[in-house]
Amino acid sequence: MHFLIIGGSDAGISAALRAHELDPNCEITLVLADDYPNFSICGLPFFLSGQTPDWRSLAHRTEFPGIQLIPNHTAESIDPIRKAVLIRGSGETRELLYDKLLIGTGARPVRPAIEGFDLPGVFPLHTMEDSFAFHRFLEQHEPKSAIIVGAGYIGLEMADALVHRGLKVTVASRTETILATVDSSFGGRVEAELKSHGVEVCNRVEARSIGRDGDSLVVVGSQDFLATADLVLVAVGVRPNSELGFTAGVTTGIKGALCVDRLMQTNVPDIYAAGDCVETWHRLLNGYTYLPLGTTSHKQGRTAAENVLGGNREFAGSLGTQVVKIFDLVAARTGLRDTEARGAGFCPVTVEKTFWDHKAYYPGARELHIRITGDCHTGQLLGAQLLGHTDSEVSKRIDIFAAALFHEMNIESLNDLDLSYTPPLSSPWDPVQMGAQAWLNETSRVEQMAHECH
Residues classed as catalytic? 42
Residues ≥6 apart with Cβ < 8 Å to 441: none
Interior/surface letters 265-294, b for 16+ CB within 10 angstroms, e for the rest: bbebeebbbbbbbbbbbbbbbeebbbbbbb
Least Cα distance to 304 among 3, 15, 7 occurs for 15
| Rounded Cα–Cα distance for residues 108 and 163 (Å) | 26
Helix (H, G, I), strand (E, B) or coil at 58: helix
Q: How far apart are the first and last CA of the chain?
A: 69
Least Cα distance to 134 among 231, 40, 46 occurs for 231
Q: Nearest 5 degrees, angle CA 44-CA 189-CA 328?
A: 45
The conformational region for residue 154 under phi > 0 = left, psi -120 to 50 = alpha, else beta, is alpha
| Rounded Cα–Cα distance for residues 333 and 100 (Å) | 36
Least Cα distance to 162 among 194, 116, 206, 132 occurs for 194
- Give 77's strand partners: 86
| Rounded Cα–Cα distance for residues 300 and 434 (Å) | 34
CB 240: neighbour CB atoms within 10 A? 26
> What are the backbone angles phi and psi of residue 162, rounded to the nearest 5°?
-75, -35
